């Protein structure tokens, strides 16, 4: 039982750490703010959730102590991580940070231009 | 230009209650585990600051009509009353007392007068933090 529990804990935490590494590499390698927030918010949120899950399993299966605060932390990160990424990307776009030069699609640009025009007419 | 931040506001409406519940847990768990009045007060204040970030100052002051300077003074009064209460039992100042009670639903629990002092600390921390942030954010 202990061996099975240890395998489960190690696998969960290892998945988390690998995703954290992927997020860090993405932050260095990707070309602009939007792709970087994509890497940071998605991959880092998943990785921290996996690490917390591993911590929960460790305290539950090895120490026999069910810590619901860790589960609350997982739910909290699941809600707030992507919202944080969204807000960073949105504020970057609205302050005029350029997209990567090889981008092919910018569907928000005509909407923002239309809204600015309507705002000036008022 | 008015921006549309419906995602931030919807997430705030959910997250605010998690933060407040967690701060209450931290406040009550302070005697046996890490936590207490100071951290609980800071967490509550940070929940209200999150509301201030997602909505504006006017909305938050209408939904939470609290005068934070009065809150600070009430907290100080509670702490002072806890300290002064020990005088009446002929013991040194700030001596606390506890006893075990059989509460309905909760069973045998120890109730301690240090909780009143912690309540005072909690109210002072929330009041001071929110006074600082509101007075900085208010001067347009």
HSE toward the beta carbon, residue B59, CA cutoff 13 A: 10
**Which residues in A lie closer than 8 A to residue B14 (C-beta atoms)?**
79
- The contacts of residue B2 (CB under 8 Å, 6+ apart) are A119
Separation in Å, CA of B92 to nearest CA in chain A: 39
Q: Three-class SS of residue A104?
A: coil
The structure tokens 């907290």 sit at: B75
Distance CA B76, CA B83 (A): 11
**Which residues in B lie closer than 8 A to residue A67 (C-beta atoms)?**
none
Arithmetic mean of pLDDT, A9-23 = 96
Q: pLDDT per residue over B32-47, tens digit each?
A: 889 889 999 999 999 9
Arithmetic mean of pLDDT, A39-45 = 92
- Which helix or strand (DSSP H or E) is residue B138 part of? helix B114-138
The CB density around residue A97, as the number of other CB atoms within 10 Å, is: 12
Arithmetic mean of pLDDT, B99-114 = 83
- The contacts of residue A46 (CB under 8 Å, 6+ apart) are A16, A19
Torsion of CA B15, B44, B64, B138, to 10 degrees: -100
Q: Best interface-test mutation with B: which of A83, A96, A120 has the largest number of B CBs within 10 A? A: A83
- Take residue B3 and report the two structure tokens written for it: 């921006």
A79·B14 Cβ contact <8 A: yes
Q: What is the residue-averaged pLDDT of chain B?
A: 89
B77 pLDDT higher than 80: yes
A75·B1 Cβ contact <8 A: no
A83·B7 Cβ contact <8 A: yes
- The contacts of residue A42 (CB under 8 Å, 6+ apart) are A82, A85
Chain A residue with minimal CA distance to B5? A87
Q: pLDDT per residue over B2-27, tens digit each?
A: 677 899 999 999 999 999 999 999 99
């Amino acid at each position: 039982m202990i061996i099975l529990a240890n395998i489960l804990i190690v696998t969960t935490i290892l998945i988390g750490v690998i995703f954290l590494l992927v997020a860090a590499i993405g932050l260095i390698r990707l070309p602009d703010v939007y792709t970087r927030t994509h890497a940071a918010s998605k991959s880092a949120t998943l990785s921290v959730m996996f690490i917390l899950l591993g911590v929960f399993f460790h305290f539950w299966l090895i120490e026999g102590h069910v810590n619901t605060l860790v589960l609350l932390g997982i739910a909290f990160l699941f809600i707030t991580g992507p919202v944080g990424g969204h807000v960073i990307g949105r504020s970057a776009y609205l302050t005029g940070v350029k997209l990567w030069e090889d981008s092919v699609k910018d569907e928000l640009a005509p909407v923002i231009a239309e809204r600015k025009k309507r705002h000036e007419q008022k | 230009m008015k921006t549309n931040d419906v995602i931030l506001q919807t997430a705030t409406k959910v997250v605010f209650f998690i933060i407040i519940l967690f701060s209450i847990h931290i406040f009550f768990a302070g005697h046996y585990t890490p936590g207490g009045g100071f951290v609980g007060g800071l967490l509550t204040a940070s929940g209200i600051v999150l509301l201030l970030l997602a909505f504006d100052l006017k909305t938050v002051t209408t939904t939470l009509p609290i005068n934070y300077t009065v809150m600070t003074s009430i907290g100080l009064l509670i702490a002072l009353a806890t300290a002064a209460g020990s005088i009446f039992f002929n013991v040194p100042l700030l001596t606390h007392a506890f006893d075990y009670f059989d509460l309905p639903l909760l069973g045998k629990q120890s109730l301690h007068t240090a909780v009143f002092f912690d309540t005072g600390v909690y109210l002072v921390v929330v009041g001071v933090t929110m006074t600082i942030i509101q007075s900085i954010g208010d001067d347009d």
